[in-house]
Structure 1
Amino acid sequence: MELKLEVIVLPVTDVDRAKAFYERLDFRLDADFSVDDGFRVVQLTPPGSQASIIFGTGLTTAPAGSVDRMILVVRDVVQTRAELVERGVDVSEVFHEAGIFVHPGTDHRLSGAHPERADYASFASFSDPDGNGWLLQEITNRLPGR
């Protein structure tokens, strides 16, 4: 069996504000259509990704900002963080965990990139205007099977 992640639904309060935010991050606009006043779908894809996000009206009953810890893989977390800051995004400082496989967001967070720049170990975080949370995770060499 093959299962591919295609789309993540993000709950937002202001569709146009969310659309502008993600376009500022260079997410590609794939679709923006309305069936009627109660249903609108906006689909965007992060640069280099095969999976997309969608948001709109009439898509979900989840509270706005309730999606957390979506991960965007980057080759250089320091450089990507700087580019996002230049685009006006409020991004955390780069951090790493005391252990490589400690879940991000625990009490084991240390300042700066991992000292050896170990894959899967350096992060930065940001949220969209509604509070949906993202992690940047630095990976240059994937684990076997990826």
Structure 2
Amino acid sequence: MDLKLEVVVIPVSDVDKAKDFYVDQLGFRLDADFPVNDGYRVVQVTPPGSECSVIFGEGLTHAEPGTLHGLHLIVTDIEEARKELESRGVDVSEPFQDVTGIFHHPGNADRVPGLHPERASYGSFASFADPDGNEWFLQEVTERAPGR
């Protein structure tokens, strides 16, 4: 049985501001904007090249705006991705790796400045946040791990 992750719900405080950020600044595709009724609105956007979409709106989650952390956008060239996002007005961190070399710790803990020394897949990160503070990571992957 296949189990495919297709939607992630993001808690936001201002739907239109979030829509502008995700569509205009990040370049996500706008798939739908359904203002169903007062207090219930569904906006769906999809990152370029992704099969998983993001949904935000009104009346969709009990989570507080800005409490989602650790979403990853996988890129083949983190430096180029940073440049493109910065040209769109997104405040992206400098590239970093984690002190463990395995994954990254939450927030700014245990970050080692700079790209992974060998530019190894899965080893270089950069981060940014949406207007509410929901935290995203860019992760450079040039060669997939076996089974992926």
- Give the structure-2-normalised TM-score: 0.94
Q: Secondary structure at the match of 2:97?
A: strand
Deviations 1:42-94 (A, max 9, x none): 00000000000000001011100110010000001111011111111111111
Given the alignment, which residue of 108, 112, 115 partners 1:113?
Answer: 115
Counterpart of 2:94 in structure 1 is 93
CA distance in 2, matches of 1:102, 1:120: 8
Deviations 1:16-40 (A, max 9, x none): 0000000121100000011111110
Counterpart of 1:135 in structure 2 is 137
Q: Secondary structure at the match of 2:18?
A: helix
CA distance in 2, matches of 1:102, 1:33: 37
Provide structure 2 residue ranges, at least 5 long, that are not aligned to the other structure: none
- Residue 39 of structure 1 aligns with an amino acid whose one-letter code is Y
Q: Secondary structure at the match of 2:69?
A: coil
Deviations 1:95-144 (A, max 9, x none): 11233214344743211111100000000000000000000000010001
Provide structure 1 residue ranges, at least 5 long, that are not aligned to the other structure: none
> How many pairs align?
146
Asked if structure 2 preserves the Cα contact closer than 8 Å seen for 1:100 and 1:120, the reply is no
Given the alignment, which residue of 119, 125, 128 partners 1:126?
Answer: 128
Counterpart of 2:39 in structure 1 is 38
RMSD: 1.2
- Residue 122 of structure 1 aligns with an amino acid whose one-letter code is S
CA distance in 2, matches of 1:12, 1:34: 15
